[in-house]
Structure 1
Amino acid sequence: MQPNQIDIERIHQAANFMARLWSDTSSEKDQRACNTWRTSDPANEKAWQCLIQAQEGFNDAPKDAIRIIARSRKMSRRHMLSILGLSAGGFILAGSYTKNHIMKTHSNYKNLATSTGEIKSLSLGSSNRLVMNTKTTLSMPTQNQFKLDEGEFFLDVSQATPYQIETTEGMISFHQGQLNIRHTDDITRISLFSGQDVQLIGNKMQNSLSIKPGQSLSFTAINTPNISTTNPNTIGWVTGKLMAQRMPLTDFIHELSRYRKGVLRVAPELNQLAVTGVFSLNNTDQILQQLQDTLPINIYQLTPYWVSVTAS
């Protein structure tokens, strides 16, 4: 075995230990096992420190970039190496499935809503599924119509069904596949991950537009920016995760605030810090603590419902 292969193997082992320690189910047994492994061989400790300080080895890493933590204890060697190349300026955290992700079956969906931090999954017939994100107000005037007032939802439609989706910006026609729709700040964003083409028309548009699988766009009643490629990170919430890839800390905190009651503020100058990671939405306090532990920031809580993020 070549020396570089040995190093990769040790980094992979270190990643597994880190995933255990940063998961929601970490135990004293995990900590003891990690300590034993680190002290059993200087090369193991070197691999451990390599992960902690990995961002320092990349020339393009921001000065205050935070460190890389292992994403999953099942991560492959190839995935681990890609993370090391991709995540300079970020860190990866293991998380658990959100406890608010509930499967229900109802015959009447006329008025639906989720509270702050709640993620709700419902079946639509035998093979179609609706998942609602935090702070979403949605109604179904009929079994084939949605009206989104605010928030976000994901549709997984296996059996072709002619759905009509209305937002304040316009109308969307969808039949089959995986579709995510988000309406916040007077903008509707559509991301089609698979299935049949989606048609949309803004309230003040003359012609409809078509979106193909793998495409995403945001639109207002009047116009749409350029079509872009779908980003799987944007639907991490469907499985109870907040996912980020080199996201400015200010944007990350803004997104996190959607899942947290009260006020969560962040100093604008902290946008120079980047976050890459997978975070469990079960506990937003834990996410803030993890950020403070790895970033040059302070988390100040006047009350549990009034939190400020400032530079340290």
Structure 2
Amino acid sequence: MSRSSQASPAGYTDQSQTRIEPLPPAVREQAISWYVKLASGMQSVEDEAAFTRWHHAHTDHARAWSQLQKMGGRLRHGAELLTPSIAHGALQKAAHAGGRRRALKTLVCLGMGGTALYLVQEQLPWRASLSSLLADVSTATGEQRTVTLDDGTQVALNTASAIDVRFDAQQRRIILHAGEVLLTTGADPAGRPLVVVTAEGTLTPIGTKFLVRHEAVPGLHAYTKLAVVEGAVEVRPHGQQGQPVIVRAGQQLQFTRDSIAPSTPLDENSLAWVDGMFVAASMRLDHFLAELGHYRPGVLRWTPEVAGLRITGTWPLHGADATDLILDSIARRLPVKVTRSTKYWVQVSLR
């Protein structure tokens, strides 16, 4: 067994200075089992009663269920909420054929929270790995939060982000499953190195403040973005041997499992979310909308004709209607219209 698999989940302190302990692995597995069963519509009356007993048996059970609901929506009575019936059939088939893990992946592909139409049209790829659903620390779409780990390291999580924290006697390990985090490292009294792990590689900071983002589009690309604000960070892609690449303050770069792109000057606008702002400086509209889509549920599309238009501005991200207000703003500034078929299906096209 590797050192990382032996390491125990580490606790953290949230913004209200409340001490939070991570969920035990057994509770995670139980919650996943209930999540799939109730969403598939295969539960009996006895199952419903058993779920209620499980839910109330321990505060960890309720917390695990709350995290799944935050990521997925209203699934307590999934058989009624995941319509049309073809969605039930797909989930039941997956559950019978491949067990709860395959069924859970199907459930994530549904888009959850009443957007089962996406499964049929295959328009909403699941952006986070299954392990991120019950990560030690996570944020929902549009949510941001900051936590302080046991060693004093501060982690700010952007929208739809998830990390696991594993500390042992030899090292401190943070696993980024999805999204984007800004880390300000703490001074560990035991002198243990801090390592950040993504699907593409490992990052070892040297007394630093830095941003890490994991971006994955199934079937297209997956990469990690690193931006160093203070200090320096060593980058080691999983698929490369040899000496690590050192990225210093004021630099940023992207890397995959097999390659590292050249570093470029730090884009200060990429840090604006930490202050609750969305900033663009002569940004292509397709890039603008792709980024904005991370902050809202559902699908945000655009036609090819508007992709190359440029937009500059600063907008607040806080508030339930923040992204809708941003869309309304670009419709006033540019020759585009915003068509909302539903709350979760929006398209931007030429006027």
Say yes or no: TM over 0.5: yes
Count of equivalent residues? 211
TM-score (norm 2): 0.57
RMSD over aligned Cα atoms: 2.0
> What code does the residue aligned with 2:233 have?
V
How far residue 169 of structure 1 moved from its aligned partner, in angstroms, is 0.8
Unpaired segments of 5 or more residues in structure 2? 1-13, 23-134, 217-221
Match of 1:140 among 141, 157, 165: 165
User: 2:19 matched to which residue of 1?
Assistant: 106
Match of 2:280 among 239, 244, 249: 244
How far residue 231 of structure 1 moved from its aligned partner, in angstroms, is 0.8
Matches of 2:208 and 2:21, distance apart in 1: 23
Q: 2:203 touches 2:234 (CA, 8 Å); kept in 1?
A: yes
Match of 2:239 among 204, 207, 210: 204
SS in 2 for 1:168: coil
1:104–1:298 Cα change, 3 Å: farther
Q: How does 1:91-102 map to 2 (within 5 A)?
A: 102=15
The reply on whether 1:270 has 2:306 as its aligned counterpart is yes
How far residue 273 of structure 1 moved from its aligned partner, in angstroms, is 1.3
| Larger RCO (CA under 8 A, 6+ residues apart) | 1
> What code does the residue aligned with 1:123 have?
T
SS in 2 for 1:204: coil
> What code does the residue aligned with 1:116 have?
T
TM-score (norm 1): 0.64
User: 1:280 matched to which residue of 2?
Assistant: 316
Q: 2:151 touches 2:186 (CA, 8 Å); kept in 1?
A: no
Higher helix share: 2
Matches of 2:312 and 2:287, distance apart in 1: 12
SS in 2 for 1:293: helix
User: 1:290 matched to which residue of 2?
Assistant: 329
Match of 1:179 among 210, 224, 238: 210
Match of 2:143 among 118, 127, 133: 118
1:146–1:126 Cα change, 3 Å: closer
SS in 1 for 2:295: coil
Unpaired segments of 5 or more residues in structure 1? 1-100
Matches of 1:264 and 1:111, distance apart in 2: 29
1:140–1:127 Cα change, 3 Å: closer
User: 1:231 matched to which residue of 2?
Assistant: 267
The reply on whether 1:219 has 2:255 as its aligned counterpart is yes
> What code does the residue aligned with 2:300 have?
L
How far residue 268 of structure 1 moved from its aligned partner, in angstroms, is 2.0
Q: How does 1:52-131 map to 2 (within 5 A)?
A: 102=15, 104-106=17-19, 108=21, 111-125=136-150, 128-131=153-156
How far residue 156 of structure 1 moved from its aligned partner, in angstroms, is 1.7
Identity of aligned residues (%): 28
> What code does the residue aligned with 1:146 have?
I
**1:132-162 CA distance string (max 9 Å, x none):** 0111121002272100111110012364673
SS in 1 for 2:166: coil
The reply on whether 1:261 has 2:289 as its aligned counterpart is no
Q: 2:204 touches 2:235 (CA, 8 Å); kept in 1?
A: yes
Q: 1:105 touches 1:122 (CA, 8 Å); kept in 2?
A: no
SS in 2 for 1:117: coil
SS in 2 for 1:176: strand
Q: 2:208 touches 2:233 (CA, 8 Å); kept in 1?
A: no
1:228–1:130 Cα change, 3 Å: same
1:279–1:147 Cα change, 3 Å: same
**1:244-300 CA distance string (max 9 Å, x none):** 111101110110010001111111221221111111112111111111112111011
User: 2:196 matched to which residue of 1?
Assistant: 165
How far residue 113 of structure 1 moved from its aligned partner, in angstroms, is 1.1
Matches of 2:19 and 2:227, distance apart in 1: 26
SS in 1 for 2:241: coil
User: 1:79 matched to which residue of 2?
Assistant: none
User: 2:97 matched to which residue of 1?
Assistant: none
Q: 1:191 touches 1:230 (CA, 8 Å); kept in 2?
A: yes
